[in-house]
Amino acid sequence: MNKITSHIYMTNGLRGTGILSTNVYYITDTKLTIIDTGYKGKLSQISRDIKKLGYSLSDVENIVLTHYHIDHTGNLLKLKQITGANIIAHIDDVPYIEGRLPHPCPKALKHLKFMERFWNPDPVDVDVKVKDGDILPILGGIKIIHTPGHTLGSISLHIQQEDALIIGDLLANTFKLSLPSREFTVDIKEEIQSINKIADMKFNIVCFGHGLPLMKNANDGVKQFSVKLKKYHS
C-alpha cells in the first residue's frame, strides 16, 4: 500500500501497477471512504489494507465509483454486503452499475464477453447519485467533476483539503501519461474535452485508475499532455 498524503492511501493489484491491475484508494477521515474496488477477487487484499490503516470493515462509510467498468466495480457487491456502505456514482453510470442496461461498448464486445467469463459483473444498487459540482461531506468536502467520454458518467474527485485529484480512467499512467483504451471509451471527443477541463484546473497531485500518481505540480503534466493531444486531434 502506498501513502499519497496523510489522508489518501492507495493499494494496487497483484501485478503492481501493471496494465492488469486497478488501483483502489482509501480516504481516511473519522470513517473510511473507498474509491473504486478493483477486479473481482481482491476482497482479502482490501480487507487487509483497511486493517493496516487502523480501521475495521464496519468503518467503511462510503464507496465512490469513478465509473462502472468491471475492473473498478469487481468487489462492490461483497463490500456493500459486508460494510453496508453508501454506494456513490454519477447518475449517468447508474443504469450500468445496477445492471439495467448492457455495457455500451460495441467495439469492445468481444473482449468484454471474454473478460466477463472471469469477472462477471454483479449488479449493485447505487445509494447516492451525483452530478457535476456536487460536494461529498468527506474530509472537508470532495468535489465531483463530471469528466465524461470514457463512460457517460465518468467522474473525477477533487479532494480539496489535500490538493489532489482522483480521475479514474480519464488518463492512465502505467508507463507514461496516456489515453484510456479506445475500445472501452464510448466517446473520444468528449473524453478529450474532459481532459482539457481537468488540464485547466490547479492541483498538486493526480491519481489514476491505472498506474502511479503524479505527486507534485501534477496539473503541469496534465496540461502538457492536453496540449500534445490538441496537436494530434485538431
Q: Give the residues lining the site for Zn ion (CB under 5 A).
A: 69, 71, 169, 209
* Gyration radius of the chain over CA positions: 16
The type of residue at 122 is D
The type of residue at 227 is V
Residue 118 to residue 116: CA distance in whole angstroms = 5
Q: Which one, 7 or 36, has the nearer CB to Zn ion?
A: 36
C-alpha cell at 149: 467520454
Q: Which one, 158 or 209, has the nearer CB to Zn ion?
A: 209
What is the smallest separation between the CB atom of 71 and Zn ion, expressed in angstroms? 4
Q: Which one, 7 or 37, has the nearer CB to Zn ion?
A: 37
Measured between alpha carbons, how far is residue 113 from residues 107, 140, 147 in Å? 12, 41, 26
C-alpha cell at 57: 470493515
What is the smallest separation between the CB atom of 89 and Zn ion, expressed in angstroms? 13
The type of residue at 166 is I
What is the smallest separation between the CB atom of 66 and Zn ion, expressed in angstroms? 8
Q: Which one, 71 or 191, has the nearer CB to Zn ion?
A: 71
Q: Which one, 71 or 162, has the nearer CB to Zn ion?
A: 71
Q: Which one, 7 or 89, has the nearer CB to Zn ion?
A: 89
What is the smallest separation between the CB atom of 212 and Zn ion, expressed in angstroms? 15
What is the smallest separation between the CB atom of 82 and Zn ion, expressed in angstroms? 23
What is the smallest separation between the CB atom of 169 and Zn ion, expressed in angstroms? 4
